Amino acid sequence: MIQQAQLPLQGQADPEVLAGEPAEHARYAKGKRVIVRVHEVQRLYRIEDEVVRALAGVTLDIYAGEYLSIMGPSGSGKSTLFNMIGGLDSPTEGDVTVQGIRIAELSRDQQARLRNRCLGYIFQAYNLVPVMTATENVALPMLLGGMDISDAHDKARQLLDAVGLGDPPRYDHRPDQLSGGQQQRVAIARSLANDPPIILADEPTGNLDTKTGEEIIDRLSQLSRDRGVTIISATHDHKMLSVSDRVVTIRDGLINKIELRSQLDIHVGSIHGPGDQSSGAESPA
Amino acid sequence: MQHGTQPGNAAVDPQTQTLLDQIGGRQSALPRRTLIAMAMGGLRVRLMRSVVTLISVILAIGFLFYMGMASKLVSNLAHATQPPQFPVEKQPALAAAVNALATKDLASQLTQSQKYQLVEGLDVPNPAWALAWSALLASLTESQIVELHAAAGPASSVDPGTITNAIRHQHAVDLHNRLQNDPGTWPQILDQIPTDIKTDLVRASAARPTDHEIHLRLAELFAQDVGRIPSLPDAKLRALQLLLGWTRHDDHTRLMLEALKSEQLAREGIAIDRLLRTNLISASEQLESGNPMDRWLTLMALLTCAVGITNAMLMSVTERFREIGTMKCLGAQDRLVVQLFLIESGLLGVVGSAAGIVLGIAVALTAAALQFGGYGMQYFPWLGGLTVTGWSIVAGVLISVFGAVYPARVAARMNPVDALRIDE
């Protein structure tokens, strides 16, 4: 049986990285439940004889229901942090706790089930299973979670309706028969399949044109509002940043800045993000 | 910074407890129907690769099936009825002939054209033909031979009496030659012949005396046993005489042995042409010697097939890094990924084996018809083919599944991150 994490983990980030007054951040956090806790996480990679430190001790609390964006230049450790939160990678040092469960303590299968139940994924390249129809793609996480196939398909259609693929119906289209925006909407429907409390969106607008990207962003922020889903996205899309409750900037494996939306508006408006100077060099991974 | 998170916050969270129950619960798996549908989808989307892999399975299993059927066919032909009763280990040729010629209704079973062929066949200096002819003659009375000759039509100008005598003469010459070459052999051979046969042999020699000294010598040798033995049908006696003549040539002996392996074949031997006999014998030899070359070929075909499938499945894994990574992100357990790949290649194995068997039947039938003519069809191992079919399917599926085990493990053990990092 898996034990809950008993250690009184510290999730507070270093006050120095908080933009504006620490009190503002405290006000923001007040009464919020921590859903993901990243504590002193380091991740080292060994590339040939050189040890690369992708994350050099990151501490962060993510609150239930918030819309959090992680940004940073290529190689900053942004993707690594993202993967840590998603349970796709394990830390060399430190702990990642999701819903009070320390991921490192889970077996591979348990991690798989945690991802299945607790986390929805949206990828930059949509990552739909090419051999499956839209309905089957959306139903897949439900089937993996043990749901009956006809129930899963019913729910999948409802979700497709909810993301606007019900009229005209795109249920039985395969990914190669759908446009990029449609595929990404299928992916959003799929990420909602098991009603996960957390959705991870990795550059969800990266492969889309501005208009379609905005549609996707609207849907995500709407989800966050309506369903109380925690959305964690890695992005450098400024539109995306502007709808975020908080923006975390990563640089050189450390948190460089944590900003609240109000501070974003004050300092840079909705056009220029904090990681602006290097966002052009962002790799699409 | 201060916020509302207490250390114990997570521990009391009911959502956490629910989640813990869910992920700690029993293994969930996709329904088999879904798995098969996914595997078939995978095969369909990567059609070209699937078809190439399928062809390798078809060829390998077709070859395996054909080899199995060919060996069964030869076995059927060689062992069409019960084995000879005569002490085989001492003089196989004699034993085979004597047992074969126990059948008396030889003549009644021949068609007119076969009879005609028989008479004509005498002109051909072919041991198999001669043997068959002698077998016929031996089973006939003098009047039947005349009848036969008449039936063969006016085209045949050979006098039956001459024929018999010619044969006898020929064998007498052979025996004589043999005696001259190796006089020590005769007593040995005679020792192995039952006394009653010897008696009749002597009687026969006496009944149709020739001026050849070999018959006299024979008579002398056999005379020692005369008087003790009841008579034996002329048929066996004469066949024996004939055989004794042929034993000089080792290959002829073997030829006769093979031809007369069973009564059935002996009876039909007349109609079996030279080609059939030659093929039958060589095939039979292959069968008896364990046929290492064919086994080697079959093994190589199966190995090649296994390597091909492994390669194709590895390619399939590589092509699908992203898909596998995605599925893992969505909560697919390692076991599921393994299942998916094994089902996919198992499907290839089943379909490939089935098609391979169809191909194998076609090849085996064609080969049987070409090699053995009507007898190939008559003795085609339809029933034995069921066993071969079973084995072929088992082999095809096993090879396919084993070929996919390693790629499936590679796929299952990939970290989702690594799988997703691959750019397509």
- Residue A163 in this model has a pLDDT that exceeds 60: yes
CATH fold label, A15-272: Rossmann fold (3.40.50)
Distance from the Cα of residue A57 to its chain's centroid? 20
- Please report where in the chains the tokens 């959090």 appear, as a residue: A68
- Residue A16 in this model has a pLDDT that exceeds 80: no
pLDDT value of position A265: 61
* Neighboring chain A residues of B327 at a CB cutoff of 8 Å: 129, 140, 144
Whether A72 and A251 have beta carbons less than 8 Å apart is answered as yes
Q: CA–CA separation, B119 vs B87, rounded Å?
A: 32
Q: Which helix (H) or strand (E) holds B147?
A: helix B142-152
Whether B260 and B94 have beta carbons less than 8 Å apart is answered as no
Q: How many CA atoms lie within 13 A of A13 on its CB side?
A: 23
* Neighboring chain A residues of B332 at a CB cutoff of 8 Å: 112, 144
pLDDT value of position A156: 94
pLDDT value of position B277: 44
Q: Which residue would you say has higher pLDDT here, A36 or B370?
A: A36
Least confident stretch, A94-103, A234-243, B134-143, B256-265 = B256-265
Interface TM-score (ipTM) > 0.90 = no
Q: Span A185-204, mean pLDDT?
A: 91
The residue type found at B322 is: R
Say whether A155 sits in a helix, a strand or coil. Answer: helix
Question: Phi-psi region for residue A55, left (φ > 0), alpha (ψ -120 to 50) or beta?
Answer: beta
Residue A138 pLDDT class (50, 70, 90 cuts):
very high
- Residue A262 in this model has a pLDDT that exceeds 70: yes
Measured at the CA of A134, the angle between CA A128 and CA A138, to 5 degrees, comes to: 75
Interface of B with A in 309-328 (CB under 8 A): 322-323, 325-328
Whether B305 and B397 have beta carbons less than 8 Å apart is answered as no
Q: Which residue would you say has higher pLDDT here, A169 or B236?
A: A169
pLDDT value of position A204: 87
Whether B344 and B316 have beta carbons less than 8 Å apart is answered as yes
pLDDT value of position B354: 93
Least confident stretch, A95-99, A276-280, B133-137, B193-197 = A276-280
List the pLDDT tens digit at each of the 424 positions of chain B: 334 333 444 444 566 667 666 666 555 567 777 788 778 877 887 788 888 888 988 988 898 888 888 777 766 765 543 333 333 333 333 334 334 433 334 444 445 445 444 444 343 333 344 444 555 555 455 555 555 445 444 434 444 444 444 444 444 445 445 544 555 555 555 554 444 444 444 444 443 433 334 444 444 443 333 223 233 333 333 333 333 333 333 333 333 444 344 333 344 333 333 333 444 454 445 444 445 677 788 788 888 888 888 888 888 778 888 888 888 888 888 888 888 888 888 888 899 999 999 999 999 888 887 766 666 777 788 888 888 899 889 988 888 888 888 888 988 888 887 777 655 4
Put simply, the answer to whether A109 touches B333 (Cβ < 8 Å) is: yes
Q: What is the side-by-side strand order in the sheet with A93-98?
A: A50-63, A34-47, A93-98, A101-102
* Neighboring chain A residues of B31 at a CB cutoff of 8 Å: 143, 149
Whether A197 and A213 have beta carbons less than 8 Å apart is answered as no
CA–CA distances in Å: residue A205 to residues A71, A243, A282, B40:
14, 14, 13, 32
Put simply, the answer to whether B417 touches A121 (Cβ < 8 Å) is: no
Tell me how close the Cα of B347 comes to any Cα of chain A, in angstroms: 16
A-B Cβ pairs (cutoff 8 Å, strict):
159
Closest by CA to B380, choosing from B28, B77, B42, is: B77
Most B-contacting residue of A80, A99, A151, A191 (CB-CB within 10 A), to test interface: A99
pLDDT value of position A278: 42
- Residue A219 in this model has a pLDDT that exceeds 80: yes
The Cβ of residue B45 has, within 10 Å, a number of other Cβ atoms equal to 17
The C-alpha torsion from B93 through B99 and B104 to B108, rounded to 10°, is -70
Q: Which residue would you say has higher pLDDT here, A181 or B7?
A: A181
SS3 content of chain A, % helix, strand, coil (to 5): 40, 25, 35
Closest by CA to B412, choosing from B320, B287, B350, B292, is: B320
Tell me how close the Cα of A270 comes to any Cα of chain B, in angstroms: 26
